[in-house]
């Protein structure tokens, strides 16, 4: 049973990754290009759209409104965020000691994100 589980896990990994070495401990893994539907589902589980409204006296109304699209993952999963960024070709990746964050705040760039979700 253990061998069957290992085989199924390898089949699953091979469907999402390109493995460049057979030695498990010395394997370098690169991602295959992500499908648009994957990014949509991944955002549903790990991402969000949000609005920040805060006091800012430099604006005529005294308030600033900022829009965000964001996905936060553990730092070890940064490569996945880089693949998502490649799909949209907009936004930034911020890294802290434990978290990698892909975010988009520009209104023009958010239009790219919006079009993706309209077309899926």
Q: Return the CATH number at 81.
A: 3.10.28.10
Q: How far apart are CA 116 and CA 52, in angstroms?
A: 22
Mean pLDDT value of segment 58-62: 94
What's residue 6's pLDDT? 52
Residues 79 and 50 in one domain: yes
- Whether the model pTM is above 0.75: no
Full domain range(s) for residue 23:
1-32
pLDDT band (50, 70, 90) for residue 105: very high
Q: Tell me: do 22 and 81 sit in the same domain.
A: no
What DSSP assignment string belongs to 47-97?
Answer: EEEEEEEEE-TTSTTSEEEEEEEEEEEEGGGHHHHHHHHHHHT--EEEE-S
Question: Are 39 and 80 part of one and the same domain?
Answer: yes
pLDDT attached to residue 58 = 95
Question: What is the arithmetic mean of pLDDT over 63-70?
Answer: 96
Is 110 exposed, middle or buried, given 0-12, 13-18 or 19+ CB atoms closer than 10 A? middle
> For residue 34, what pLDDT band results from cuts at 50, 70 and 90?
confident
Dist CA 47 CA 57 (whole Å): 31
Q: For residues 99 and 74, is the Cβ–Cβ distance under 8 A?
A: yes
Count of the separate structural domains present in the chain: 2
Instruction: State residue 78's pLDDT score.
Output: 94
- The pLDDT mean for the chain works out to 83
Average confidence (pLDDT) over 14-26? 49
Nearest-5° Cα angle at 28, 25 to 33: 140
């Amino acid at each position: 049973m253990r061998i069957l589980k290992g085989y199924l896990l390898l089949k699953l990994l091979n469907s999402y990754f390109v493995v460049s070495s057979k030695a498990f401990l010395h394997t370098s893994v690169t991602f295959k290009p992500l499908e648009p539907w994957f990014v949509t589902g991944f955002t549903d589980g790990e991402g969000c759209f949000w609005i920040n409204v805060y006091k800012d006296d430099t604006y005529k109304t005294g308030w600033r409104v900022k829009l965000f699209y964001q996905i936060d993952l553990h730092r070890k999963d940064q490569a996945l965020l880089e693949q998502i960024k490649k799909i949209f070709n907009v936004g930034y990746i911020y890294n802290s000691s434990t978290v990698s964050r892909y975010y988009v705040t520009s209104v023009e760039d958010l239009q790219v994100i919006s079009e993706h979700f309209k077309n899926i």
